[in-house]
Chain A
Amino acid sequence: MKCGEFNPKKFSVASYPTQGYPPNQQSSDNQKQTKDFPVSCTVEHELRFSASSENRGTQMTLEENRRMLQAIYRTLSSVRTGIVLLILLGLASAAGTFVLQRPLTDPEQLERAYDPETLAWLDRWGLTDVFHSWWFVALMTLLALNIILASLERFPTAWRFFARPYLRPGPHFQATLPLQEEVSIRNVEMGLQAAERAFRKLGWKPQRVGKNGDCSLYIERHRVARLAPYVVHASLLLILAGGIVDGVWGWRGFVALTQNEQTDRIERRDGTEQRLPFTIRCEDAGQENYPDGTPRRWWTNLTVLEDGREVLRKEIEVNDPLVYRGLRFFQSSYGSTGTLAKLTVLATAVQTPQQTRTVELSPNQTVALDENTTVRLAAFVPDFMVVGNQIRTRSPEPNNPAIQLLVESKAGGSWKVWLFPRFPDFSHPGDAPYTFRVRDLQMGYYTGLQVAYEPGQWAVWAGCILMGIGLFMTFYMVHTRFWVVPVSDRLGRQALWVGASASKNRDEFLERFRRIMETIRAELAEQQPPAVVTNATVAARS
């Protein structure tokens, strides 16, 4: 490609003379305006106002103040500050991943990793909790402020592009536009019609500007692309706002429920107790395994109760929480409580050994074995061991379960019978009226639920979607404009001036411009004898 006529490096509005421009054309095709932009009117106005109300003695200090405020404002709203803030945030975040963070690690692990002096130093500077330290929050605030101010600074220009399209180029604009060409025509109206047909052929929609005698064409596409950066920055602010809302009003907690247990109190992460405006009950919970024994699925059947009435029921599992009144309940863990849920034993009377009956027992439930005898589940030890003289459990898992049954007879006498399902022949004491054999033993399980209240999350998701749209607009939508104006060329003959401008991807746009010029020439040639089409010039500007 020959870039002689069209060098993107040299193509910047900063080199244009600014006089005689319509206001909306300033910095039209290049946002190179970080320096020397005017101080916001509001600040200036306030300062003038306050200055006039003071006496002359303080005039100087006011002037200094004003200059300082201007400097601060300029610094805060500059892109350079934004970049510095991005770098600082990056470095701070990196520090937060190399130093162990308190919210993510056990205190003991931290004490093992650092000696006390270092730990105290890290704690003092918030390095053990970077992402909640005051200086990290301050950096984020400054970045948000920078985004807001920088956008406010630049938005009016972009908005003018959007709201007041520059329909008809003035003579100065025509003289300085880098991408332009002139085509000779015989007749203004016929030339305009040919141009219109050419644009329609290539899928553009030409628009006539001006009255009958003084008509020109304006063609544009994707005007909305001018707003893309503001969409992205607004979405970023939306996400930040959501994060702030969740940081201030949101909370997270944990609750463990066993079967049929219900609660309206949740223990929050920070250790406080949170009361819910409703009650949640665990109906049932379970685990399913793969053939190789690794867990495949955990589930919990939850019911929401309001004033004792059931209002919602859902089976939750990992990745599929229950949502009610903005509160979300997540399946987070599942395990043994170390208690017995249900015990099935075979009871055989010593006097009539042929007759055996099956008895189902729950904790503290008394069941009659015959008219005179009852049995009750008195105690359960999941992992039986004896330390000294005391019975202990090694773990909450039923590795070596031991069951104590209380057998009572109306005839007088009670027996505390110990059963060990792992050692079925062992029974103590041996003089009870019944012998027992454990047939089935169902452990009590708890289901661990994470509870989260994040009222700001919807802002976050909306922000994410908006950012996707904004980035698409930023990278893949180009605001392109064409102007077709009838003029007289240097020799005084009638000609069509065609100018074009694109907000980005100018090299590809150059190709498009050439294609359009070819089509216009072809259209003109169709309605005119070919010999008349002459003198096409590419205006070279550098």
Chain B
Amino acid sequence: MGRTTTATATTPTSNSLLVLVSLAVLLLLLTPMFGVLRSGEVFTEANLLYGALVFFGAAMVLYLGFALSGNERYVRFASGATWTGFILNTLAAGHRWYIAGRPPFSNLYEMLLSVVWTLALLTLFVERRYGVRVIGTVTMPLAVIGVLLMQLMPSEVRPLVPALQSTWLHIHVTLAMLGYAACAVSFALALMFLIQDRVRTETFLAGTSVLLAAIYLGIASRFDASGGLQVAAWDAQAAREIFIARGEPLMVILPGLGWMFFLVLAAVLVPLGLYLWAVWNREESFLRWANRAFVVGLLVQGLGLVAFVLRARGGMYASPQAEGLFPTSLSASPFLLTGMVSGIAASLLYLLLWWRREGLERMLPDTETLDRLIYRSIGIAFPLLTLMIAAGAYWANRTWGSYWSWDPKETWALITWLVYAGYLHMRITRGWRGRRAALFAIVGFAVVLFTFLGVTYLLPGLHAYA
């Protein structure tokens, strides 16, 4: 029930993408193979992760190909690639678990490892159980970004500080991961709902632009008076940030990049401005301009990312806090990178919608199924979030002697909970269905994202290690 299977005739060109992807996978797997074989260590975590990256990348390309062409054959191969990547990811996580003697949840690298694993699992599950094939188009790019970011982060197994040595931590984090993953699914379903509910494509443009503006405002807040961008300095030997005081990392200035990101911010605000102008004056022609400006914005974003990667990859820079030059590295700025890459991914997804809306509509389940699925996924997420907060409180009580201390992470977890509680009440007692409920689910996920990433980036607290 609710499965939409669009049987599209296999066109003669449909195999070319498959062949191309297979060749790319073979090439990417075989070239490093010789080096790996010579070193004698085949099944290391890094190698497994590299394999997972290759297969997730292949799956991403195939899912995107499916979304663009509607060719059913791609999905089968995409699922296969996802399965292989998932197995390799599982092996990598298991390997790490075995080496460390504890589940991989204690720093950003390990969190990403688990998040990507959960994403892949969810993709496979939703595809198989509910027949929502297009979900891979959204989740696989995220998985690829996750694995790419992991390559830039310190990955050695670190011992746990005493406060983290608790079973309750693992329960807490597992529940958090599962809960947030369910929230992400409800978000993806809500977006699909809006697409099926004939929301104007340009409304998505506005939504994407708001997200981009938030991301680049966050990045531009690191603007330095000299026109540079402040990033954390990086101690290459210890593979960690340099702290000059408790909770105060040493920053360095990347010259010129501050202006660069102001430019990017302006570039992503232009389409939003054009959209608002078009809506205000009821001028349809401006919407076309908004879409063109959006493409320009994406190009500027790409330039910004390239400039940032080139500058932050290495080199010595001055610091506003101390005399002398200090090194930095991409690992020192995980949040900035995540922000930029997700911004580009979101823009690409919008462009996909802009070009292939009709094809997407044919592939997605109908609104009633989607509405029910949103409610179902939140029905899974909400108990998990509740138990996550309870487990966290119990752990805090055993470690710090207090189950609730209103630190920012706790508070935002509570806010997330309140938002979803609001959704459930609206839906169950006031009969909210359809678009309003879907918008509520989107707001809920925005809050989840802020709790998970924004709080760590902007509001440091007791949760310094997650």
**Measuring CB to CB, which residues of chain A are less than 8 angstroms from any residue of chain B?**
1, 3, 9, 12, 30-32, 34, 79-80, 82-83, 86-87, 89-90, 93-94, 96-98, 101, 103-104, 131, 229, 243, 252, 290, 292, 294-298, 317-321, 328, 330-332, 450-452, 454, 457, 460-461, 464, 467-468, 471-472, 475, 507, 511
Contact = CB atoms under 8 A, between A and B. Distances in A.
B386 A471 contact: yes
Contact of A450 (B165, B401, B431): B401
A243 B163 contact: no
A298 B397 CA distance: 17
B402 A452 contact: yes
A87 B419 CA distance: 8
A321 B398 contact: yes
Contact of B459 (A12, A97, A454): A97
Contacts of B425: 79, 82-83, 86
Given A467-B390, A471-B383, A298 B162 contact: yes
B264 to A, nearest CB: 25
A94 B415 contact: yes
Interface of B: 1-2, 159, 161-163, 165-166, 368, 372, 379-380, 382-383, 386-387, 390, 393-394, 397-408, 411-412, 414-415, 418-419, 421-422, 425-426, 428-431, 433, 455, 459, 461
Q: Which 10 A-B pairs have the closest CB atoms?
A: A318-B162, A452-B401, A464-B390, A97-B408, A471-B383, A475-B379, A450-B401, A290-B159, A330-B401, A131-B406
B455 A97 contact: yes
Contact of A31 (B398, B407, B421, B428): B428
Contact of A93 (B397, B411, B428): B411
Contacts of B2: 1
Given A93-B418, A460-B403, A468-B386, 8 more contacts: A12-B431, A90-B415, A103-B406, A252-B402, A330-B399, A450-B400, A450-B401, A454-B403
Q: Which secondary structure characterizes the binding site on chain A?
A: mixed
A100 to B, nearest CB: 10
Contact of B393 (A12, A319, A331, A464): A464
A190 to B, nearest CB: 34
Q: Which of B163, B383, B407 has the most CB of A within 10 A?
A: B383
Contacts of B418: 86-87, 89-90, 93
Contacts of B407: 104
Nearest to B424: A474
A89 B417 CA distance: 11
13 contacts: A89-B418, A90-B418, A97-B408, A98-B459, A229-B428, A243-B404, A290-B159, A318-B399, A330-B400, A454-B402, A468-B386, A472-B383, A507-B1
Contacts of A294: 159, 161
Given A252-B401, A319-B163, A321-B398, A507 B390 contact: no
B237 to A, nearest CB: 12
Contacts of B405: 104
Contact of A96 (B166, B398, B406): B406
Contacts of A97: 408, 411-412, 455, 459
Given A319-B166, A475-B383, A87 B422 contact: yes
Given A87-B422, A101-B406, A104-B461, A457 B415 contact: no
A271 to B, nearest CB: 18
B182 to A, nearest CB: 12
A376 B372 CA distance: 83
B400 to A, nearest CB: 7
A295 B408 contact: no
Contacts of B401: 252, 321, 328, 330, 332, 450-452
Contact of A86 (B422, B429, B430, B455): B422
Nearest to B415: A90
A475 B1 CA distance: 21
Contact of B162 (A82, A101, A319, A457): A319
